Structure 1
Amino acid sequence: MKTKQERTIYLEDTPRQDALERCLNLMELTDITEDVEVQNAVGRITAEPVYACASNPHFHASAMDGIAVRAKDTETAHESNPLRLKEEADFEYVDTGNPIPHGFDAVIMIEDVNEVTDGELEIIAPAVPWQRIRPIGEDITYGEMLLSQGHKIRPVDAGALLAASVKEVKVIRKPAVRIYPSGSELVSPHEPLKSGKLIEFNGTIFSEMVKEWGGEPELMPIVKDDPEAIRAALSEGVEAADIVIINAGSSAGSKDFTAGVIEEMGEVITHGIATRPGKPVVIGKVNGTIVIGIPGYPVSAYFVMEWFVEPLICRFLDVPVPEREKLTVHAGRRIVSSMGSEDFIRVNIGYVNGRFVANPLTRSASVTMSLVKADGIVTLPADQLGVEQGEKMTAVLTKPRTEIQSSVLFSGSHDLSVDILSSHLKKEDGLTRIIASHTGSMAGLMAIKRGEAHLTGLHLFDPATGTYNLPYIEKFLRNMKLVLLPFLQRQQGLMVPKGNPYSIQNISHIAEKEARYVNRQKGAGTRMLFDHLLKENGLKPENITGYNREMFTHLSVAAEVKMEARAVGMGIYSAAQAMDLDFIPVEEESYDLLMTQEFFESKQGRLLFHTLKSRQFKESVEQLGGYTVNDNLEARYIKI
C-alpha cells in the first residue's frame, strides 16, 4: 500500500521566469564536444572556429572553356588586324576548372576565337593578364576562418568546408534526453486498446520536439505508477542522459510520485508554477543530471516542454532560443482569465475587414486538437482578469502568417460538410482553408454582424413562418449587404445506441422512458429546433433528464451517446453514421451559408463559391449520408 510519505502533496506558484532561471542554473556544461565528419555535420553547432586546411582553388584555374595564352603576345590583335595563334606555341585549349598551363597568363573564351586551320586560331581582341583565370585562393585561402564558434552548420557551409579540405569539425554534441512516459493506464500505440486504457502519445511529441531543437531523444518504455519503478527509471536515466523527463505523476494526486522520488534521490528546486495550463511541473536534479517532471495532460506537457526543455537544450548548445513571429490581433469574443496565473490561450486567427481577429479554442489542458488547430498562442499576464471583445492582444504564431492570412474564418453551426469544404479549398490553391469555431447559428449571425468572421453556417427554424434562416437574418443583420447560399438539406433526428435498447421513437419517448439526453449549447440551431419540438409535444426542459448537459458539435453529442446505453441526442444523420448509431429521422432542415457581399466578391469568396458548385465536393458530402446538396446553387443577395 502506498503511504502519504511516498508522494509529495504540495504545489508552489513560482513565477515561470523564476522557475526557468533556477532550471538553467542547474546545468553543468562539461564534456560537451565531439568530432564529426563534415558530411554528417549539417545542423550541428561548431564548438570552436573552423579554419581552411587548403586554398580553393589551390592552383590557378581557368574560369571558362577557351584557350590559354600569353597576354603580351596578343597585344596587336584587332578587328582590322586579326592575330593568328598556333597551338602549343601560342595557345593551349583549356576547359573550365583546368589548371593554367605553365607560361600562360590569360584565357580567351572559346566563343571569341575563330578556327582558321587545324591547329591554328584567329583572335580579333587582345587579352589582359589574368583575364578569366581564377587565382589560387580566389574562393578560400589556406588558414582563413571559415566558420566561427557557435555557428549552426548549413548545407552550403558543409560544401565550403569540404572545398577547403576540412574533413572533420568539432561540434557541440547533441544533449541526450531520456523520456520516460509514466502511468499504469497507458499502453503503447501498437498495443490493442481496451476500456480504461489510454494510448501513450506524449512521448512521441516530446521526442520530435527534442529533435527539432537539436537534442538526441531516447523514448523509453512506459513506467508504472509505482515509486520503486520510478526510482529504477531515474537511477538508470541520470547515468545515461543530460536531461531526464518523466511524463505524468508530477501533480499531487494519489498516484503522483515524481516529486517525492526526485526529492528522495536528489533535490527539487521547483514544484508548481503560476501558469494555466502547466502548473504541476517538477524541476530537480539527481546525481548532477537535470530531471523534469512534466504534467500528463498533453497541452500542459507541450507548454512545459517549450518553457523549460527547449531553453535547456539551447543553453547546452550555446545558441539563443529562437524568436517566434508575433502578431497583433483583436479578440473575437470576450476571454475570461483568473488572477494569479499566466494564462496561455490557444487561438484561431483570421484576417477580417482589414484586421486580424483571434477566437479562443477550448481551454482544457487535455485537448490535443486545440494545439493542432491553433494558429497562435495569446499570453495573459497573471495580473490580468481577461480581455474584452475587440481588445488588442499579442499572439505568438504557431503557423506561417501567409497561411493565416489566407484562412476563411467560420463561426456558426457545426456541420461535417464544412470540414470537407475546407479540405477541398486547400486542394484548390494550396493555401486557403476554413478555420471553424463551432459557436452555434445565433453566435455565427452575431459574428458576421460584428465583422469577426467571413462565413457562418445557419439552420435557424422560425416557428412563426415555418421557414429557415431568413427571418433571423432580417431581424438581426439590418443595414448590411449580405449573400446567402442555400447550400444543402440535411436530416436531423434522434441518435441512439446501436439496436435502440430503449426503443426511442420520438421526442415524447425521451421523457417517458427517462432516457439521458445530450443537448447542444445555447444558441445552436439544433437546440432551438429541439426546444420547438418539446413545446409542440407539450414538454418542458425540466421534463428531460440531462437537458443541461451541453456539447458543441454533432460528433461530440454522438460520441456521448455511443458511450451510454440510456443516452439519446439530437443531431444530423452523418454524425450518427460516423459513430455507428441508430437514427430516428425527425426533420429535414435547410443548412445555409451566409457572408458579406464584400467577402463573396473577394478572391477567397469566389474560390469558395466555385468549390461549393463542383461535382467532386457535392459527391464527397453526399457520401456521408443524410444530405441533399443543392444542384443549382445560386447566390442570393440580401440588403436589409
Structure 2
Amino acid sequence: MTDDLLPRDRAVERLLSLRDDALAAHGTDTVGPDAVAGRVLADPVVAPDAVPPHDYATMDGVACDAADDYPLAIVGDEVTPDDDPPELGRGEAVRIATGAPLPDRATVVVKREDTTVEDGELAGPDLAPGTHVYERGSTVAAGETVFQAGERLSPKDAVLLDDLGVGSVRVRERASVGVVATGTEIHEGSQPDRDSNMLLGLARSWGHDAVHAGTAPDDADAVRALLAEAAEAHDVVVSTGGTSVGHGDHVVDALAALGGLVVHGVALRPGKPVTVAHLPEHDAVAVALPGKPVAAHTAACLVARPLFTASRSLPTVAATATVDLDVPETDTTGGTAVEYAVPVALDDGRTTPLGHPDSGHVIYGRTFDPSVLASSTHATRADGLVLTRDGFTADETVAVVPYGAVE
C-alpha cells in the first residue's frame, strides 16, 4: 500500500470520477421544494421569468422619477404590495409601502422621514436612480440557469425555487448504502461495533438510504462473501476494519478480487488505509475504511464524502491556536507528504487540539499522535479539524474545518 499512497485531493478526484461513471445510471424522482434537501439534481433549473418581475420598494416612502425636479405632485392612493402600480406622469409621485411594485416611470423611493409634503406637493433630497429600489431581475434574470445538473441541494435552496415558481424538480434516486463491519471481536460481540451507527448517520445526512448489512469475522472467505452479498444488494458498500496489513486484514484483497481498486491508501493520518473499489459485476462501489473510530470518521468525511455528495469543498473558519502542536517527523511514505487531520475544540475564535495536554483531556503528548488518537472515542467531542503537514504554534491563525460542514 505504501507505494500507492495518493494525496487527498487526487483521491477525491478519483472518487468524483467514480461517482460519474458508476452512479450515473441511477433513475430519477420528481420532488417539490419541500423535499429537495440532500437531493442531487438530474436537470438544470432555468428561471422561467425574471425575479422579481417588477421594481419593488425597499422602504416606506414616495416613489418618483429621480430625473424630475421638486416640487412633485402627490397623486392617487398609497401603493401596497398587492396593488398594481398606477401610471405616473412627469412631475408626479405616489406614496408607496415596502415591498410594493413601482410605477413604470418611478426610479427611486424617497424615505418617508426624508420627505416634506405641503398642499399636495412633495419636497425631498436628490437621489441617484435605484435608491431604495429592488430592481426587476435583481434576483434572477429570465432564462438564467440557476442550478446546474449534478448539484446537491440544501434546505435553503427551497427559498429560491419557491421564488422562481418552480413547483417540482427532477432529482437522482437516492443511492442504497450497505454498511458492514469486519473483525472477529465485533462479529462475536466481545467488543462493540463503534463505527457502523456513525457511518449510517453520515450516509443518511449526505442524502442516501443506508442500512446495516452485516458483520464478518477475520476470515478471508467470510469477508469476501459479506462484501459480495452487500454489493449485490446495494449501490455503495461501506466497510470498516480489515484494511491494514495484519494477518486478519482481508478486506483489500477481497475487494481486489471482486473488482478493481481505485484508491488504495491516502496520505492522510488518521485514515491512511482507506480503500475504494469499483465492483462492476455487482454495479456497486465499495469504500473500505479503517476500523479505528476517529480514523473511520476522518477518512469518510475528508475522502469518501464526495462520492455521496458530489462536492469536494472543505469550508473553513479562521481561529487562533492556543498551543504549540508538533507533528511526527515529516512522513513522505510512498513519496507523498502526509497530511495530519487534527481534531480541535473551538471557543470564541480560539482553537485547542483535543487530546493535547493543555486541552483538559490528554490523549497524546505535545506531538500529535494519530495512531493513539484514532482509537479515542472521546476525540469525537471535537468541533472540527485542522489539516496540517507541519503543525502550528500558539497564536498562529489556523483554518478549522467544522464537522458541521462535512457531516
Deviation at 1:309, TM superposition (A): 0.4
SS for the counterpart of 2:169 is strand
| Residue in structure 2 matched with residue 366 of structure 1 by the alignment | 375
Matched letter for residue 169 of structure 1: V
The match for 1:205 among 179, 198, 210 is 198
| Residue in structure 1 matched with residue 249 of structure 2 by the alignment | 256
On the 8 A contact 2:213/2:230 being kept in 1, the answer is no
Alpha-carbon distance in structure 2 between the residues aligned to 1:92 and 1:137: 23
Alpha-carbon distance in structure 2 between the residues aligned to 1:392 and 1:272: 33
Q: Which has the larger radius of gyration?
A: 1
| Residue in structure 1 matched with residue 400 of structure 2 by the alignment | 397
Matched letter for residue 145 of structure 1: E
SS for the counterpart of 2:4 is coil
Please show how residues 30-179 of structure 1 align to structure 2 within 5 Å: 30-31=24-25, 34-42=29-37, 44=39, 46=41, 48-56=43-51, 91-92=76-77, 94-100=79-85, 107-109=94-96, 123-125=120-122, 137=136, 143-145=142-144, 147-149=146-148, 153=153, 157-171=157-171, 175-179=175-179
Matched letter for residue 166 of structure 1: V
SS for the counterpart of 2:287 is strand
Please show how residues 176-191 of structure 1 align to structure 2 within 5 Å: 176-186=176-186
SS for the counterpart of 1:16 is coil
| Residue in structure 2 matched with residue 17 of structure 1 by the alignment | 7
Specify whether residues 219 and 350 from structure 1 end up closer, same or farther in structure 2 by C-alpha distance, changes over 3 A only.
closer
On the 8 A contact 1:177/1:218 being kept in 2, the answer is yes
What are the Cα deviations for residues 562-595 of structure 1, in whole angstroms up to 9, with x where unaligned? xxxxxxxxxxxxxxxxxxxxxxxxxxxxxxxxxx
Alpha-carbon distance in structure 2 between the residues aligned to 1:332 and 1:76: 66
Alpha-carbon distance in structure 1 between the residues aligned to 2:384 and 2:271: 20
SS for the counterpart of 1:186 is helix
SS for the counterpart of 1:366 is coil
The match for 2:275 among 270, 282, 290 is 282
Specify whether residues 371 and 135 from structure 1 end up closer, same or farther in structure 2 by C-alpha distance, changes over 3 A only.
closer
What are the Cα deviations for residues 225-270 of structure 1, in whole angstroms up to 9, with x where unaligned? 2556544543454355443211122234454332333233223455
The match for 1:224 among 209, 216, 221 is 216
| Residue in structure 2 matched with residue 266 of structure 1 by the alignment | 259
Alpha-carbon distance in structure 2 between the residues aligned to 1:94 and 1:374: 50
SS for the counterpart of 2:286 is strand
Specify whether residues 106 and 59 from structure 1 end up closer, same or farther in structure 2 by C-alpha distance, changes over 3 A only.
farther
Please show how residues 480-491 of structure 1 align to structure 2 within 5 Å: none
On the 8 A contact 1:106/1:132 being kept in 2, the answer is no
Alpha-carbon distance in structure 1 between the residues aligned to 2:216 and 2:300: 22
Alpha-carbon distance in structure 2 between the residues aligned to 1:60 and 1:22: 47
Matched, 1:292 2:287: yes
On the 8 A contact 1:250/1:295 being kept in 2, the answer is yes
Matched letter for residue 284 of structure 2: T
| Residue in structure 1 matched with residue 100 of structure 2 by the alignment | none
TM-score, normalised by the number of residues in structure 2: 0.62
Deviation at 1:322, TM superposition (A): 1.8
TM-score, normalised by the number of residues in structure 1: 0.43
Alpha-carbon distance in structure 2 between the residues aligned to 1:328 and 1:64: 41
Matched letter for residue 224 of structure 1: A
On the 8 A contact 1:245/1:291 being kept in 2, the answer is yes
Alpha-carbon distance in structure 1 between the residues aligned to 2:35 and 2:122: 49
Alpha-carbon distance in structure 1 between the residues aligned to 2:56 and 2:396: 59
SS for the counterpart of 1:222 is strand
Alpha-carbon distance in structure 2 between the residues aligned to 1:392 and 1:113: 56
SS for the counterpart of 1:309 is helix
Please show how residues 134-533 of structure 1 align to structure 2 within 5 Å: 137=136, 143-145=142-144, 147-149=146-148, 153=153, 157-171=157-171, 175-186=175-186, 197-211=190-204, 214-225=206-217, 230-239=223-232, 241-269=234-262, 271-272=264-265, 276-286=269-279, 287=281, 288-314=283-309, 317=310, 319-325=311-317, 332=324, 336-337=328-329, 341=333, 342=338, 344=340, 346=342, 359-360=366-367, 363-364=371-372, 365-373=374-382, 376-377=385-386, 379-380=388-389, 397-398=400-401
Query: Which ranges in structure 2 are unaligned for 5 or more consecutive residues?
Result: 98-111, 357-365
Specify whether residues 243 and 325 from structure 1 end up closer, same or farther in structure 2 by C-alpha distance, changes over 3 A only.
farther
Specify whether residues 142 and 174 from structure 1 end up closer, same or farther in structure 2 by C-alpha distance, changes over 3 A only.
same
Matched letter for residue 344 of structure 1: Y
Deviation at 1:103, TM superposition (A): 9.0
| Residue in structure 1 matched with residue 102 of structure 2 by the alignment | none
On the 8 A contact 2:277/2:287 being kept in 1, the answer is yes
Alpha-carbon distance in structure 1 between the residues aligned to 2:55 and 2:314: 43
What are the Cα deviations for residues 504-557 of structure 1, in whole angstroms up to 9, with x where unaligned? xxxxxxxxxxxxxxxxxxxxxxxxxxxxxxxxxxxxxxxxxxxxxxxxxxxxxx
On the 8 A contact 1:57/1:140 being kept in 2, the answer is yes
What are the Cα deviations for residues 328-365 of structure 1, in whole angstroms up to 9, with x where unaligned? 869747654485543736466899xx999974455413
Deviation at 1:298, TM superposition (A): 1.3
On the 8 A contact 2:327/2:368 being kept in 1, the answer is no
SS for the counterpart of 1:344 is strand
SS for the counterpart of 1:100 is coil
Specify whether residues 109 and 123 from structure 1 end up closer, same or farther in structure 2 by C-alpha distance, changes over 3 A only.
farther
On the 8 A contact 2:319/2:398 being kept in 1, the answer is yes
Deviation at 1:218, TM superposition (A): 0.6
Alpha-carbon distance in structure 2 between the residues aligned to 1:132 and 1:272: 57
Percent of aligned pairs with the same residue?
Answer: 21
Count of residue correspondences: 351
| Residue in structure 1 matched with residue 105 of structure 2 by the alignment | none
Matched letter for residue 4 of structure 2: T
More deviation, 267-276/390-399: 390-399
Considering Cα pairs closer than 8 Å and 6+ residues apart, tell me whether 1 or 2 has the greater RCO: 2
Deviation at 1:209, TM superposition (A): 3.5
What are the Cα deviations for residues 275-301 of structure 1, in whole angstroms up to 9, with x where unaligned? 654344433221342212222111321
Query: Which ranges in structure 1 are unaligned for 5 or more consecutive residues?
Result: 1-10, 115-120, 188-193, 382-386, 401-640
On the 8 A contact 2:30/2:168 being kept in 1, the answer is yes
SS for the counterpart of 1:166 is coil
SS for the counterpart of 1:31 is coil
Deviation at 1:313, TM superposition (A): 3.3
Alpha-carbon distance in structure 2 between the residues aligned to 1:67 and 1:378: 54
What are the Cα deviations for residues 98-133 of structure 1, in whole angstroms up to 9, with x where unaligned? 12368999522597899xxxxxx9623399xx9999
